A and B are shown apart, each in its own frame.
Chain A
Amino acid sequence: MAATLPGPSTDLDRQLQDLEGEIERLRRLAREQAIDLGGEIATLETRAEDVRKKIYTNPSPWHIVQLARHSQRPRLVDFVASLFTDVVELHGDRLFRDDPAMLAALARFEGRPVVVVGHNKGKDTKENIARNFGMPYPEGYRKALRVMRLAEKFHYPVIAFVDTPGAFPGDEAEERGQAEAIARNIEEMSRLRTSVIVVITGEGGSGGALAIAVGDLTLMLQYAIYTVISPEGCAAILWHDATKAAEAAAALRLTAKDLQALKIVDEVLPEPFGGAHRDPEAAITSVRSALQRHLPGMGQMPVQAMLERRYAKYRSLGQIVA
């Protein structure tokens, strides 16, 4: 991300970047010359904080993209550790290997058995390399489907956590049928005979996100994103200029609010001021209270009626004229 991150998108960004640069310069100066610049630094800090507040109060779509990708944003393991008990992780697709970019587990939410699947992004470089930055191979999707089938067998609800830049674009992933794996999951989830709650917590990267995101209820954290293509990719294709990602982020309507207006997302879950990374536990609590509200009602409906409703939901998405 750092390598392709375009420059500031607004005047506020630029101001903040200038202020942060100046603070950094004064700190270095103070260290190297052993002089006291505490007063100057504090003044600049206050100004930087003001600018930050302005940005956080009404973040642009591009800011929201940064928040969704923030390295300190709570990860799947944080949600799982905090929300569930009796967690038993299940490994492997029984076909090829265990994909660490996808997590699948049996768990209890406030005593109630559920099945959890989700993209398993890491927090630091080491974790991210081990988990392929949360970008699954086909075997990751096949593992998720295998475990969702288990949920179906026992009529336990599935809770799917979405946080991925996308399905892994690699030669081996293609050879093993990345497209087929995604297509299969989408089809099977559309008719899975148990209830499915989708929670988009970070990046909802295209087909690689949708492959575990077809369900009866789609929840989305306030500063998560969900998009058909990355803003950088969109800008590169449309304008041959990846630095126009901020414009693309606005054009794609990828924020939770936008997606709720398009009826793709059913409910937006509030985040702490400035984003989930500023208070991860508060963001997790937001998800918890949504699950508390919705989970008891799930599975009350007869299976056939639930499937009809799920079908009707996806069937209705889009805008056409005849």
Chain B
Amino acid sequence: MLNWLRRPKYSSLQRRDMPAGLWAKCPRCNNLIYRKELERNLKVCPKCGFHHRLTALERLEITLDQDSFEEIDAELTSTDPLKFEGYPQKLQEAKEKTGGAEAVITGEGTIDGYRTVIGVLDFHFMGGSMGSAVGEKVARASEQARDRQLPLVMFSASGGARMQEGALSLMQLAKTSAAVGRLHDAGFPYISVMCDPTTGGVTASFAFLGDVILAEPGALIGFAGRRVIEQTIRHKLPDDFQTAEFCLNKGLIDLVVTRSDMRSTVARLLSFFGAPRVEPVPVAAEPATPEPAQSRSGSSAADE
């Protein structure tokens, strides 16, 4: 189903990521959902609206126009600068699990015809943690947006800095924030979308520096972890603490946008900020409508 993405090497990944079985249990409402139905609904529970986490590839697929994605820096990856025990193995496992080389995919594409540089963090790759390579790719994406006079759209899902790279990972907060600062200075729009979860070093850098900050419903968004905070203040936190809705209420983000509205909302913002649009407007990988059964089963067969 991802054969339109120009990265054939990774095109069979999604299937591997899917838990086995025809039915999925929703972690919020506990209902059993027919897996195909869940997929057709962009992995949002049709019963309770719970937004299941997406892989970076899934996110790109539901966000960009068909065939529009040109990946950059696909092979770029972190090394093991500190010779940190177990890190090369963890990195290797994450590569095998996701099929990607790092915890972010970056590139250029169109959203409803609006040209943009886009980056998507993958929580499935070492918790979306930001090491040297993630920082580098985000900085390069920001620089590419500036050089090509395009907007930048970042979808974040990350537990924070990658501690196996020590202070070098901390420095990626500076690297990415400085790069985004230059994009701001140059006058090009930057839309930041926070998905579940966006915490730690990614929030304390590029994710909170968008001109407009959107979030998916229910996404966990915060700097410090709930457990650390509870230990510090010595009382329990409310259930909704650090949710997207909580952040909206506290004035920290601009909008909470459902997954089915995300693509059109981002497109509207890109339009508002004057993003260039390609003509004719490409075919949307229309999120709200299920793909015809034939093409779906056709590409599945190709995947397997």
Q: Which residues of A contact B (CB under 8 A)?
A: 167-171, 173-180, 182-184, 186-188, 190-191, 206-207, 210-211, 214, 226-229, 234, 237-238, 251-254, 259, 262, 264, 310-311, 314-315, 317-322
Could you list 15 examples of A-B contacts with CB < 8 Å?
Answer: A167-B224, A168-B232, A169-B223, A171-B233, A182-B205, A183-B209, A186-B178, A187-B180, A187-B181, A206-B161, A206-B201, A207-B223, A228-B169, A319-B168, A321-B78
**A169 near B229: Cβ-Cβ < 8 Å:** yes
**A174 near B229: Cβ-Cβ < 8 Å:** yes
**A183 near B135: Cβ-Cβ < 8 Å:** no
| B182: Cβ under 8 A from any A Cβ | yes
**B174 near A210: Cβ-Cβ < 8 Å:** yes
How far is A266 from B139 in the complex, measured between Cα atoms in Å?
Answer: 23
How far is A227 from B205 in the complex, measured between Cα atoms in Å?
Answer: 16
Question: Which of A178, A253, A319 contacts B223 (CB under 8 A)?
Answer: A178
For A311, the chain B residues whose CB sits under 8 A away are: 178, 182
| B84: Cβ under 8 A from any A Cβ | yes
B178 → chain A closest CB, angstroms: 4
Question: Which of B86, B168, B170, B232 contacts A207 (CB under 8 A)?
Answer: B170
For A317, the chain B residues whose CB sits under 8 A away are: 132, 168, 171-172, 174-175
Q: Interface SS of chain B: helix, strand, loop or mixed?
A: helix
**B133 near A210: Cβ-Cβ < 8 Å:** no
**A314 near B82: Cβ-Cβ < 8 Å:** no
**B166 near A321: Cβ-Cβ < 8 Å:** no
Within 8 A of A (CB), among B169-203: 169-175, 177-182, 184-185, 200-201, 203
**B233 near A183: Cβ-Cβ < 8 Å:** no
How far is A167 from B183 in the complex, measured between Cα atoms in Å?
Answer: 27
**A315 near B179: Cβ-Cβ < 8 Å:** yes
- Chain A residue nearest to B250 (CB atoms) is A175
Question: Contacts A174-B229, A191-B181, A318-B172 known; A183 to B206 CB distance under 8 Å?
Answer: yes
Q: A183-B204, A206-B201, A237-B163 are in contact. List 7 more A-B contacts (CB 8 A).
A: A174-B242, A178-B224, A180-B203, A182-B173, A226-B170, A262-B81, A317-B175
- Chain B residue nearest to A177 (CB atoms) is B252
- Chain B residue nearest to A315 (CB atoms) is B175
B271 → chain A closest CB, angstroms: 26
**A182 near B204: Cβ-Cβ < 8 Å:** yes
How far is A174 from B242 in the complex, measured between Cα atoms in Å?
Answer: 8
How far is A317 from B206 in the complex, measured between Cα atoms in Å?
Answer: 17
How far is A2 from B241 in the complex, measured between Cα atoms in Å?
Answer: 30
Most buried by A among B82, B84, B86, B225: B82
B134 → chain A closest CB, angstroms: 9
How far is A190 from B181 in the complex, measured between Cα atoms in Å?
Answer: 8
